[in-house]
Amino acid sequence: MDATALWQRYQEWLYFHEGLGLYLDVSRMRFDDAFVEKLQPKFEKAFADMAELEKGAIANPDENRMVGHYWLRNPDLAPTPELTQEIVDTIEQIEVFAEKIHTGGIHSPKANRFTDIISIGIGGSALGPEFVAEALATDFPPLAIHFIDNSDPAGIDRILTHLRNRLASTLVLVISKSGGTPEPRNGMIEVKKAYAGQNLDFANYAIAITMPGSKLDEQAKSEGWLARFPMFDWVGGRTSELSAVGLLPAALQGIDILAMLQGAKEMDDATRVPDIKQNPAALLALSWYYAGNGRGEKDMVVLPYKDSLLLFSRYLQQLVMESLGKEKDLEGNIVHQGIAVYGNKGSTDQHAYVQQLREGVANFFVTFIEVLEDRNGPSTEIDPGTTAGDYLSGFLQGTRQALYENHRDSITVTIPQVNPRTVGALIALYDRAVGFYGNLVNINAYHQPGVEAGKKAAAAILDLQKRVLEVLQTEKTALSLEQVAQKAAATNQIEQIYKILRHLHANQRGIVLEGNLAEPSSLKVSISG
Ligand code: PA5
């Protein structure tokens, strides 16, 4: 296509949201009108199903749940007045609580102001808050946030060491929808011990965000934690950023949560329009379908050209891959769906993997995120008439063009600046695009059976570890791995037993390994003490 035809295609396909000042450009995806025509019936179904979902249909059939994240930003749309009230009350509760924390109306028994937050959660209970903190927290927020989003003891130590002199003024958010996920539970127990180690009563610092009635909720209630906020059954983890999961940490950091909700609401209104060309989320889903033949054949590379949006790529990775990466379709057929997502930021990545994007395997499409405002205030000229921001903008345009010339497609989302409203809008845009795409490829985008399977497999290993330790404690002599396996009734799990013992041995847990470490079958194992 020559430059004139490309300019025409750009204008033909350009979507602009006037209120938000957001542009979406899909002109560098090479679909033609016949392709759009072919997908039209699928989109008609997707629009109709989405309308039913918003009315409260059981859109997550595997978990028998409604899917209501859209109600969070427009509570009047919730299917019952009780739900509307619950959403409104929760937002108000968050605002009042954050205000009291900021003004010292609520403070720790040992300090007249809270200074820091430790946020403990994983997956959907971490990635949204992490993204929003990175994107929107000011340089000197009223409370600085620190995340524990893993079961890594060294990672936990790092946060606790950093905060050791401020623990008495640090709030702890424990975020888990189910209230039974091992990683946040482990983090919470370790953090609680650190508070006890400084003679601080954890309950005065701890806040639970979880489903009412969950194990975590019961614990918080019985121990008299500082506060509890509800996570609704009908909101999924990865679409929970605009529930208490994301709103409470954001409000505590002084981020304007009403503006985030407003931006998301405006985008939700725009993505409700049942017309592909007038609906930015439909345009994204159409482009994804085109890129990967509706089978995820191409990876989505997300490149925000703005440091503060660094974690948007990671946030989208979970949203897209946990939602769309499914073995079965809604009829139970094996389909192995999904779209792989990775990314970091531009122009940084131009000096890393963009080399391969430009010249190597053409197994991807790019999503550029462009921010029009360079910085808050004027910029220095690096060269006469050119600023650092001009360079960044030029790098983006240049990369987009170079990729296109080498037959690599791209989408560009442009926002006027990074602020609570545009961040809310981006979250809502991708929530809906994922919902549409899931519908186009006929999968349930709202459950995560693979995550559950991983949790079960890990629990089975920990159970095996218990049995192995019992065997070693009962037997007084050194045993071979085979003997341990036999006595633990796990003869088909020798490799797992070996790895368990090797890990315990490396962590001074009383395991003695004798023999040649390079030949595991030669090892004799015993337990000391
Ligand atoms: O998106 C999801 O549903 C998951 O990523 C969950 O958020 C994650 O597994 C954590 O679950 P929970 O909040 O129940 O601890």
> Closest by alpha carbon to 291, among 395, 349, 405, 367?
367
> What whole-number distance in Å separates Cα of residue 145 and Cα of residue 161?
15
To test the pocket of ligand 1, the residue of 148, 174, 181, 316 to mutate (highest count of ligand atoms within 8 Å of its CB) is 181
- Phi first, then psi: what are they for 430, rounded to 5°? -80, -30
Q: Is the Cβ atom of 27 under 6 angstroms away from ligand 1?
A: no
Task: Please give the distance, rounded to the nearest whole angstrom, from the Cα atom of residue 84 to the centre of ligand 1.
Answer: 24
Task: Please give the distance, rounded to the nearest whole angstrom, from the Cα atom of residue 221 to the centre of ligand 1.
Answer: 21
For the stretch 104-145, pLDDT in tens is 999 999 999 999 999 999 999 999 999 999 999 999 999 999
What is the residue whose two structure tokens read 């003679």?
A: 199
For the stretch 320-364, pLDDT in tens is 999 999 999 999 999 999 999 999 999 999 999 999 999 999 999
What mean pLDDT comes out for the span 492-513? 96
> What whole-number distance in Å separates Cα of residue 119 and Cα of residue 130?
9
For the stretch 237-291, pLDDT in tens is 999 999 999 999 999 999 999 999 999 999 999 999 999 999 999 999 999 999 9
pLDDT for residue 476 is more than 90: no
Question: How many Cβ atoms are within 10 Å of 21's Cβ, its own excluded?
Answer: 15
Task: State the pLDDT confidence band at 453, using cuts at 50, 70 and 90.
Answer: confident
Q: Is the Cβ atom of 280 under 6 angstroms away from ligand 1?
A: no
Predicted confidence at residue 452, as pLDDT, reads 85
Q: Considering the entire predicted model, what is its pTM?
A: 0.96
Average predicted confidence (pLDDT) for the chain: 97
> Closest by alpha carbon to 363, among 429, 407, 415?
407
Residues paired with residue 396 on neighbouring β-strands, in sequence order: none
What mean pLDDT comes out for the span 405-425? 97
* Both structure tokens of 417: 């600046």
Q: Are 67 and 53 in contact (CB under 8 A)?
A: yes
> What H or E segment, with its residue span, contains residue 391?
helix 388-405
Task: State the pLDDT confidence band at 430, using cuts at 50, 70 and 90.
Answer: very high
> What whole-number distance in Å separates Cα of residue 109 and Cα of residue 209?
22
> Closest by alpha carbon to 274, among 433, 432, 48?
48
To test the pocket of ligand 1, the residue of 120, 177, 186 to mutate (highest count of ligand atoms within 8 Å of its CB) is 177
Task: Kindly write down the DSSP assignment for every residue of 185-235, as one continuous string.
Answer: HHHHHHHHHHHHHTT--GGGTEEEEE-TTSHHHHHHHHHT-SEEEE--TTS
Atom number in ligand 1 closest to CA 122:
10
Q: Is the Cβ atom of 452 under 6 angstroms away from ligand 1?
A: no
For the stretch 32-88, pLDDT in tens is 999 999 999 999 999 999 999 999 999 999 999 999 999 999 999 999 999 999 999
What mean pLDDT comes out for the span 9-21? 98
Q: Are 175 and 209 in contact (CB under 8 A)?
A: yes
Predicted confidence at residue 508, as pLDDT, reads 92
Q: Is the Cβ atom of 129 under 6 angstroms away from ligand 1?
A: no
Q: Calculate ∠ Cα 225-100-71, nearest 5°.
A: 80
> What whole-number distance in Å separates Cα of residue 80 and Cα of residue 440?
29
Task: Please give the distance, rounded to the nearest whole angstrom, from the Cα atom of residue 181 to the centre of ligand 1.
Answer: 8
Q: Is the Cβ atom of 325 under 6 angstroms away from ligand 1?
A: no
- Phi first, then psi: what are they for 410, rounded to 5°? -155, 160
> What whole-number distance in Å separates Cα of residue 379 and Cα of residue 382?
9
Task: Please give the distance, rounded to the nearest whole angstrom, from the Cα atom of residue 445 to the centre of ligand 1.
Answer: 14
For the stretch 158-194, pLDDT in tens is 999 999 999 999 999 999 999 999 999 999 999 999 9
Predicted confidence at residue 529, as pLDDT, reads 72
> What whole-number distance in Å separates Cα of residue 128 and Cα of residue 72?
15
Residues paired with residue 214 on neighbouring β-strands, in sequence order: none
Task: Please give the distance, rounded to the nearest whole angstrom, from the Cα atom of residue 126 to the centre of ligand 1.
Answer: 9
> What whole-number distance in Å separates Cα of residue 377 and Cα of residue 392?
16
> What whole-number distance in Å separates Cα of residue 56 and Cα of residue 16?
30
Q: Is the Cβ atom of 177 under 6 angstroms away from ligand 1?
A: yes
Percent of the chain with pLDDT over 70: 100
- Name the closest-CA residue to atom 8, ligand 1: 123
Residues taking part in catalysis: 322, 351, 455
Predicted confidence at residue 115, as pLDDT, reads 98
Total length of the chain: 529
Q: Is the Cβ atom of 253 under 6 angstroms away from ligand 1?
A: no
> Closest by alpha carbon to 380, among 372, 371, 370, 390?
390
Q: Is the Cβ atom of 176 under 6 angstroms away from ligand 1?
A: yes
